[in-house]
Amino acid sequence: MLGRCAARALGALRGLREGAPPARSPGPSRRLLSSEKVSDENHSLPKPCWSKDMRLLFDQFMKKCEDGSWIHLPSYEYIATQRSQDFPTFIHASELINKEKLSQGRLFTKSFEDGLGFEYVMFYNDAEKRIVCVFQGGPHLQGMPGFFHGGAIATMIDATVGMNAIVSGGIVMTANLNIDFKRPIPLCSIVLINSQLDKIEGRKLFVSCNVQSVDKKILYTEATSLFVKLDLEKKFD
């Protein structure tokens, strides 16, 4: 049974949850998505490609979820924003969005074969407005030989702070992301991305985060971000 905070967080994700597969019900917006592959697989559950350490951390966080203080967030290949009914004004009004290509859209972090790209699981603490992401990056995320690409790290930071903003603010977009890369992260290592909602001012949500080694001895990266709740009356053009 979900606790109250779990229900609230998962309710917030319903509006713009990370990758809920598109609705199967027919309708005008559903026609855009008719040719896509629909996968209901929750990628936040252990897979064969997860290392022993990743599984250990998963088990530790799942233990913390037992009293309801932490929530295990699901993740799917599709983001609900692909459902045009979630963005009625933007998608239908903008001439810039290719409606055919939209049906092939897939969440960037879920676009690699298992184990080669982004493997991660996120846990949310409602009382502390924190999300911890346990991230195991694969060999296709290489930048300098032997280390992760900075863009791959930025992607996972954006995904984690973004999820924190979504849980609190609903439909948001990244307006600003500042990253200090302090140490290179060895390729294929597992790191913790710790994000914190710092404040909300009107439509603006400020979220900070750091990336640490699992033993917390190495601070790899620090970041601050600004997310803006979308004004659904405005158009993208």
Task: Report the C-alpha gap between 19 and 80 in whole angstroms.
Answer: 6
Tell me which residue of 50, 5, 34, 9 sits closest to 190, measured CA to CA: 50
SS3 at position 155:
helix
Catalytic residue (one of 86, 158, 180, 215)? 158
Distance CA 19, CA 79 (A): 3
Of 46, 198, 231, 235, the residue at the interface with ligand MFK (CB under 6 A) is 231
Residue 145 vs 151, nearer CB to ligand MFK:
151
Q: Which of 22, 138, 162, 169 binds ligand MFK (CB under 6 A)?
A: 162
Q: Which of 14, 31, 203, 216 binds ligand MFK (CB under 6 A)?
A: 203
Coil, strand or helix at 8: helix
Burial category of 65 from C-beta neighbours within 10 Å (exposed 0-12, middle 13-18, buried 19 and up)? middle
| Active-site annotation holds for 231 | no
Which residues in 2-21 contact ligand MFK (CB under 6 A)? Answer: 18
* Residue (177 or 188) nearer to ligand MFK, CB: 177
Total residues binding ligand MFK (CB under 6 A)? 18
Residue 204 contacts ligand MFK per CB under 6 A: yes
- Binder of ligand MFK out of 85, 174, 208, 213 (CB under 6 A): 174
- Kindly state the smallest distance separating residue 156's Cβ from ligand MFK, in Å: 8
DSSP type of residue 111: -
Contact between 80 and 17 (Cβ < 8 Å): yes
What does the block give as tokens for 100?
């055919």
Residue 121 within binding range of ligand MFK, rule CB under 6 A: no
Q: Which is nearer to ligand MFK, 195 or 210 (CB)?
A: 195
CA angle in degrees (0–180, nearest 5) for 82-151-33: 15
Cα 138 vs. chain centroid, distance in angstroms? 17
In three-state secondary structure terms, 67 is: helix
Nearer to ligand MFK, 105 or 162 (CB): 162
Residues that bind ligand MFK (CB under 6 A): 18, 109, 158-159, 162-163, 173-176, 202-204, 226, 228, 230-231, 234
Where in the sequence numbering do the catalytic residues fall?
158
